[in-house]
Structure 1
C-alpha cells in the first residue's frame, strides 16, 4: 500500500505542521474561550503570498468546530455578502426574512442573484438579521458562529460594508460571533482607511512572516521521522536552508524530498521504506523541483498583480546579487529618486520587497530575484510602456 506524503504544498490544504504559528492560534483559542468581546474574536491576518494565511483560517475553523461552533468560510469575490446570506438562511428566500428587504429580479437592480437578490442598501440589515437568527439557535446550544473571509483585498466595497456593519452590531450586542478576514497587505490601505469601515481597524492585527530556520529544521526532522523516512546531517541542513523560512517553500521542499526518497525506497528490494534515509542527492533534486513549482505557484501570480512600473523597479533590483541601493535602482529605471520611491513604498507595503536601512532594499519573497532574472525578457515584453 502506498504511503501518504505528509507534506501538503497546495493552497488551502491543511499541512501536518503549523510551525511558528503558536501565538496567533493561542490568541484565537483564547478569544473563543473568553467570550463575546474578546480581542481574538475579531482578527485580520495579513502577509505575502505563500505565508500560510489560508492555512491559518482552516486551522481556526477546525478549532471552532471542535467547540461545536458553526463555521462559514468564504473567499472574497463578486456577490460575497449574498453568498453569506444564502448560507445563513438556505431554506428561506431573502424576501421572507423578518426585515423584508427590497428584491430585484433578474438583474433589475441591487446585487445580481440570477433569480432574486437583496438590494445593496438593505443588505447590511438583512445580513445582520440572518446572522442574529442563526445565533439564536446556536447560543441555545452554548455554541457560536465563526465567519472567515479569505483574499479580503479582492472584495467589493459594498460587500465589506454589509459584512462589517452586521458583525459590528452583533459584537455590540455581545452575541457569540467571531470574524476573521485575511488577505494581502494591501487590505490595510484599501479597507482600514475607509471611513465607513473604521470598525475593521479595531480587529486584532496578525502579520504572518517567515519561520526561524532552526524551527524548520526541527519540523523536517520530526515529520520525516514520523513517516518512517529519516533525514539528518547535511541533507537536513540543506533542506532547511533552502526554504529560507518561507512557509510555502517549507511544504514544497519537504514534499519533493520526501517523494523522491520514498520512490527510491520502493525501487530497492533489500530495504523497506521505513529504513530509508534521505540522501544529499535526494535533497538536491527535491530542492530543484520545489524551486520550479515555487515560480509557478507564487512568483508568477505575485508579478501578475503588479503594475508595469512595479515590475520595472523589481527588474532593476534583480541586477544586484544582494540588497539594492534605491538611488541605483532609480538610475537604472531612468527616473529620479522621488519618483522611484513611490514604487519602492508600494512594493514594501505589499511585502514584495523589504527595507534594509541606509537606502537599501531587498526582496522579501524567497528566490524572486532568480525568477526575475530567468524571466526578464518575458516580463519586459509584457510590461508595455516601460523600459530599463
Structure 2
C-alpha cells in the first residue's frame, strides 16, 4: 500500500441509551435517521430491549434483575452496570466520542449512566452526557433521585447537558397528551446529539472536524443547549434569537467560554444572514470564548433555518482568574470603606463585580441556581432564563442597517 495515499479516518461516534428513557431516545434517533453514529442500547428490562433497533443491545443485570428491570432503584441500576463492566467496555472500544443519554430519575439510567460514562472516559473517548430531568408530575422521589444522578454523572463526563422536561410544557400545546410530552423529550435529546454529530459527520458549507468539537467540549463541565427554527426573512437571525432565549435554557448563556453553533438551512441560505446569526451569539458569549461554528446545507429544510447553540465552559474558570477577581474585589472594598467609613451605607451597585471580564457571574453558580425548575403550571416568559434584551443587544452601535449591511463586518472566527 502506498504510504503517501491519504487515508480516510473518520471519528467513531457511539450513542449509548441506558435505561427506559435512554433506549427510547435512541429509538427516536434511529427513526429520524441520525447518521454517522453507532447506536448502543443498554437496559435491565429485557422485554423493552427486544423492541429496540439499536446496532448493539446489551442486557445488563441478568442475574441481579432476571431481565425484569431495576424497579426505579438507582443502586440496582449501578450494580447491574458494574456487574457487566467488561461487556460495556468491549462495545465502547474504539470510540472517539461517546454520548450517554438517559432519562434521570429511574433506576437503570440514573444508576448506570455514570458507570457507562466512567468506562467510556477511561478508554480515552470524549464523553458527553445528554439527560432529561423528570416532569414535576412524576413525583418528588423521582425528582430527588434525578438530582443525585445528575450530580454523580457530572463527575464522570467531559460535558453534561441537562434538559428540564418541565420546560417542554412552556413550548407545548395545553392539550398535549402525556405520550406526546415524552416524545417531545426524546426529540430534544435527539436535537442535542444531532446538533453536535452533524457538525462532524455531515459535509457542510462551513465544515468542522472532531478536533474542533473536542476543543470546546473536553472537560467543559456543565453545558446549556438552545434550539431555534424560523422561516422567511431573516430566518437565521430569528432562529438564533430563539435558540439563545430558548425555554430549554435553565440560565443565560452569557459568559460561556466555549460555544458550539450549528446553522442548518437550504441551499439559498445567505452569507449575510449566517454572519448576523453568528454575530448575535458571539455578542452574548464571553469576549474570549472559543466559538466553533458550522453551517450545513440541507435542502429538506426548505425555507426553514435551524440553529442549535451549545454553550459550555461555565465551570472552567482558572485559579489565576479567581485570584485576580478576589484581589480586585478586596481592593474595591477597601476603597469603598475608606470613602464611606466602615459603618456608612454604600450606594447601590458599589462592590459588585462586572458581568463581563474575568470570570463571568454565572461561572460558578450554586447547584440550586443551575438546576432550579419551575412548577409545571408556571408561565415561562419568552425570554426565560435570558437576562439580555436581545433587540437592544443586536442593534447597539451604528444606526439600523447601514454599516453592517454595507461593510459585512465578520466576527474573527468567520474570517
TM-score by length of 1: 0.30
Q: What TM-score do the two structures reach when normalised by structure 2?
A: 0.28
Q: Which has the larger radius of gyration?
A: 1
Work out which structure has the larger RCO, using CA pairs closer than 8 Å and 6 or more positions apart in sequence: 1
> Which structure shows the bigger proportion of residues in helix conformation?
1
The structure that is strand-richer by fraction is 2
